[in-house]
A and B are shown apart, each in its own frame.
Chain A
């Protein structure tokens, strides 16, 4: 059975585990993440949704002509914190667009609500998806997942002084179309990269907690990850610089940028920090120029 999940969603926390578990429960699934050809349907979306969201919608719609079923979880919360409201609406937006196109109306969408913060939630979700795919319950003798999720290895013991830390949404950091190839540009300029996703989330959210004030808790998971990483790369392990990769019009990052900028001004001897709004650049050269200017500052600090 050919089952599709858009490539962009694979970067979201817990999604690789979901796919792995579904693969264990149903080895006959053949996964498709990248459509052979991107279709360009007339989307209902108007202009001000963020580019990653539009790309998720387009990839999902393109996959419809190549799969038997499309899995599009309604990702509400992960690790006890919320995702942005767009993830709640994503399956509906894809469904409405799908119904407007003549082709692929018959391909079913499987859109379970995804609220995962522990392995047993993931197990339940996997079985729910299995049931939706095969119309029967998964067999009980399949191997169970371990009780604890495999956490990110962390960066301790690793020299990151010649690295640039990249912070932002995981789907932006991993997709060269969304991040304007910044990781590649940095490598060409002689810098390694480290990301927030290499550090355990519980460590990042603990750092972010220092900025919470009673009910005024940052409730989005990605915001906590980014804020925690910003603090980590300033206070615990110091890279050569921090670049915050932001999609234009991202509501979560719009607020977070204000907090990070203010925080950066107050820190003594803060790690150099720059924001790149990825889709405000139309050519790679624009991004190269910005990254080079930032690296000049980084070099200047090293020399001094």
Chain B
């Protein structure tokens, strides 16, 4: 058995840590490239959303590299994410690949449990008692690594905007993530994490006043830099601190329904979107709107709304956000991402957006 999983920001460090600690062989998917995108594009159609295409490409490349078991996080209705696993399986079968599939249920119900039982029927036979024994520890190790990664990414987002040489932050972040990934025990992990954060905080600073934006939108697009054209880094280089609406741990905590505070926050956000959206449209639609309203209340300089072309819930959020921006007098930049996108286009858009926010903060425009 060789397990693989899709890329989603630094989630691979979490998955890798779990597999290594539990002693389960794995294949790390190659970093997402143009080829990865093209595999997804050529084997689906023009109206399929970009995350599905990239995940498909990740899986094909991992299968080419020897993986035989795909692990995918599931989701529910009404958006398309809930059927990604069904459709990706259809495409991979159609392409002639031989593989086994395991969906980690996004919603726990009888159907999901029965599916899990069926999907793990063969896998269970291949796992040793040692794998089972080490699994709780593997979960804990994966979780700790993920928390360090996210802490590091948040720190990097803050420091990049005020660094004299923002590229130094990118380098230190990459090095820090690598060290966290390589850490074999809790102590070495803690040392690696602390050292990475300290090195980021020690960088030479400029005297520019950073702007603050919140990045909202479809979760996969918010979290995966290869999909969102690395907007967080690009904005950071322009002196903007980017707060993401989604981190991987947020989704795990929300999905497991363990964290009551998080669930209450979600209810509060749904109410906040109420004046614009009277009903839960699905996925992150209402939350994108609510987080923009919240950002205005908390004094952010702007909102970046990222979503893949043709995303059903976020298309509605984009329409609503254009009126939220007007009503609350906060700049909202919609960035619809698809295969036609080029870094230069995004750079031009972001530069114009940053100019608007800067002039507003300086009182040069209303």
Contacts and interface: CB of A to CB of B under 8 A. Distances in A.
A29 B47 CA distance: 41
B91 A82 contact: no
Contact of A92 (B45, B74, B111, B276): B276
Interface stretch (A127-135, A187-195, A256-264, A292-300): A256-264
A96 B115 contact: no
Instruction: Tell me the dominant secondary structure on chain A's binding face.
Output: mixed
Given A46-B315, A46-B322, A220-B78, A88 B85 contact: no
Given A82-B78, A85-B316, A249 B47 contact: yes
B141 interface: no
Given A96-B319, A251-B80, A262 B90 contact: yes
B85 A216 contact: yes
A255 B45 CA distance: 9
B334 A46 contact: yes
B319 A44 contact: yes
B78 A96 contact: no
Nearest to B114: A214
Interface string B42-81: 0011111100000000000000000000000010011110
Interface stretch (B279-287, B294-302, B348-356): B279-287
Contact of B112 (A92, A113, A215): A215
A47 B340 CA distance: 15
A116 to B, nearest CB: 16
Contacts of A215: 74, 103, 105, 107, 109, 111-112, 114-115
Given A93-B316, A96-B320, A214-B111, A88 B336 contact: no
Residue from A86, A91, A220 whose CB has the most chain B CB atoms within 10 Å: A86
B48 A254 contact: yes
Interface in A108-165: 111, 113
Interface in A33-80: 43-49, 74, 76
A49 B315 contact: yes
Contacts of A113: 279
B83 A89 contact: no
Residue from A83, A111, A216 whose CB has the most chain B CB atoms within 10 Å: A216
B9 to A, nearest CB: 24
Question: Which 6 pairs, one residue from A and one from B, show the smallest C-beta to C-beta distance?
Answer: A214-B115, A254-B47, A89-B316, A215-B111, A251-B312, A85-B282
A85 B334 CA distance: 19
B12 interface: no
A244 to B, nearest CB: 12
Interface residues of A, number: 46
A257 B90 CA distance: 11
A74 B336 contact: no
Contacts of A76: 279
A276 interface: no
A111 to B, nearest CB: 8
A258 B87 contact: yes
A225 interface: no
Contacts of B49: 251, 254
B137 to A, nearest CB: 29
B309 interface: yes
Contact of A214 (B80, B118, B311): B118
A49 B254 CA distance: 29
A115 to B, nearest CB: 11
B336 A255 contact: no
A179 to B, nearest CB: 17
A254 B311 CA distance: 11
Nearest to B334: A46
Contacts of A111: 278
A86 B279 CA distance: 11
Given A48-B309, A96-B323, A89 B277 contact: yes
9 contacts: A44-B319, A48-B310, A86-B316, A88-B280, A89-B285, A93-B319, A251-B80, A254-B45, A254-B48
Contact of A84 (B48, B94, B312, B323): B312
A87 B273 CA distance: 17
A253 B45 CA distance: 10
A182 interface: no
A213 B316 contact: no
A2 interface: no
Contact of B90 (A43, A248, A259): A259
B272 to A, nearest CB: 14
A100 interface: yes
A15 interface: no
B285 A255 contact: no
B82 interface: yes
